[in-house]
Amino acid sequence: MESITISRKGPEIEFSYNIVWEHGFEQLANALASAALPFQKICIVTDSNVEKLYLEQVKAALAPMNKKVVSYVLPAGEENKNLNEIQKIYGFLIGEHFERKDLLIALGGGVVGDMTGFTAATYLRGIDFIQIPTTLLSQVDSSVGGKTGVDYDAYKNMVGAFYQPRLVYMNTDVLKTLPEDQFSSGMGEVLKSGLLRNREFYEWLDAYSDDILEKDSRALDHMVRECCKIKAKVVEEDPKENGVRAILNLGHTLGHAVEKLKNFTMLHGHCVGFGTAAAAWLSYRKEMISKEELDMILRLNETFSLPNSVQDLSVEDIITATKSDKKMEGGYIKFILINGIGNAIVDRSITDQDMRDALNMFMN
Ligand code: GLY
């Protein structure tokens, strides 16, 4: 079983859990046994799409543990990522007599992971949960690091908690049958990971793009692992985003604004790809990256079907939408720039005019 441990020994925040990569769900019971959790009952939380694909396989993989396993199916889609749906999960867990020592499993993409994590963080003031991410985006980003929560009206992830899972179990085979738009959305977060901390990996993504797009197992395994290693290091250093963790938001200031204005009809990773292109252009204008580096960033977006432009939105609406983002601090935007590929930094000097200039370059 390939794995790494993500851990932190204080001050204040302590956690330690394994991120496991497998081909199949069969090793789930072994991975859970290694985590040595005290549960008697398990509730698998999934959505109406993933239920059909993997729920029975995951239940079968848990059977050797001889524990009671129930499941709760959320309606699929970001529009259901709200407190109403969380309340329904609480009601289900109460009805099934779930106690503090029992376990939730998030089986699905980022929405399921964030909602299950938030339920786990708040039900009985906190019960254990594990992540089984089934999309590229959730494997390379959202399942690792303990960000949980829901949207509030059009405000993305406005209500939530930092709450770490006790295990992340990834079956990378699921990536082979992922719909193409979901795959390219995940690539938005993959490219972001390389750009922010690991130039060598970013160049590897360029060199092995054919293998990645053909879903070659070795290429996918390497790609997912490298992203998780990058994320694990950042989260270990700054679990609650008091400092360096903000670099994981590369491409997200403008990306979230577009996502919101498009009413979540444009996939998250596509919005991040667009936001990254604009952030790269601003980095170039500030002479932090060369023209060749900017061209490479735009070219890799194209290679993986990520948009370098958006249509049917107004520049001013996008700028206004950035103001209600969580990345504001004291009236300033914590904008992430690229000070050379592999080295993202937090910048507090980006003005509305800077964003306007960048957006005008990338909108038609
Ligand atoms: N997705 C950004 C973070 O986990 O901090």
Give per-residue pLDDT as tens, 84-140.
999 999 999 999 999 999 999 999 999 999 999 999 999 999 999 999 999 999 999
The number of the ligand 1 atom at minimal distance from the alpha carbon of 141 is 1
Percent of the chain residues past pLDDT 90, beyond the cut:
93
- DSSP bridge partners of 72: 45
Atom of ligand 1 nearest to the CA of 189: 1
Q: Is the pLDDT of residue 330 over 80?
A: no
Ligand 1 pocket, residue 192 CB under 6 Å: no
Q: Which atom of ligand 1 is nearest to the CA of 249?
A: 2
Report the separation in Å between the CA atom of 109 and the middle of ligand 1, taken as the mean of its atom positions. 14
Task: Report which ligand 1 atom has the smallest distance to the Cα of 248.
Answer: 2
For Cα atoms 176, 174, 128, give the angle at the middle one, nearest 5 degrees.
Answer: 155
333 confidence band (pLDDT: 50, 70, 90) = confident
pLDDT, residue 327, reads 66
Give the ligand 1 atom nearest the CA of 145.
Answer: 4
Residue 141, ligand 1, Cβ within 6 A? yes
Instruction: Please give the distance, rounded to the nearest whole angstrom, from the Cα atom of residue 181 to the centre of ligand 1.
Output: 21
Side chain identity at residue 47, one-letter code: D
Quick check: CB of 43 below 6 Å from ligand 1? no
Indicate if ligand 1 lies below 6 Å from the C-beta of 81.
no
Per-residue pLDDT tens digits for 208-223: 999 999 999 999 999 9
Q: Please report the pLDDT score of residue 326 as a whole number.
A: 64
pLDDT of 254 reads: 96
List the one residue out of 66, 263, 32, 304 whose CA is nearest residue 166: 32
Q: How far apart are CA 212 and CA 197, in angstroms?
A: 20
Give residue 63 CA to ligand 1 midpoint distance, Å.
Answer: 33
Arithmetic mean of pLDDT over the chain: 96
- Cβ atoms < 10 Å from Cβ of 64: 12
Contact 245, 238 (CB under 8 A): yes
324 Cα to the center of ligand 1, angstroms: 18
Q: Is a pLDDT exceeding 70 seen at residue 190?
A: yes
3-class SS letters over 124-190: HHCCEEEEEECCHHHHHHHCCCCEEEEEECCEEEEEEEECCCCEEEEEHHHHHHCCHHHHHHHHHHH
Q: Which atom of ligand 1 is nearest to the CA of 144?
A: 4
Q: How far is the CA of 148 from the centre of ligand 1 (A)?
A: 10
pTM of this structure: 0.96
Residue with the nearest Cα to atom 3 of ligand 1? 248
Does the pLDDT at position 364 exceed 80?
no
Cβ–ligand 1 distance for 189 under 6 Å, the answer no
Digit-coded pLDDT (tens) for 256-305: 999 999 988 999 999 999 999 999 999 999 999 999 999 999 999 999 99
Question: Does the pLDDT at position 59 exceed 90?
Answer: yes
Q: What was the pLDDT predicted at 332?
A: 77
Vertex 289 angle, CA 286 and 294, to 5°:
110
pLDDT digits 0-9 by tens, 148-160: 999 998 788 999 9
Q: How far apart are CA 210 and CA 304, in angstroms?
A: 10
For residue range 343-357, list pLDDT tens digits in order: 999 999 999 999 999
Q: What is the whole-number distance in angstroms between the Cα of residue 151 and the centre of ligand 1?
A: 15
- Per-residue pLDDT of 238-252, as tens digits, reads 999 999 999 999 999
145 lines ligand 1 (CB under 6 A): yes
According to the model, what pLDDT value does residue 335 have?
Answer: 95
Beta-carbon contacts of 356 under 8 Å, excluding residues fewer than 6 positions away, are 315, 316, 319
Identify the pLDDT of residue 155.
Answer: 84
Q: Which residues pair with 302 in a beta bridge?
A: none
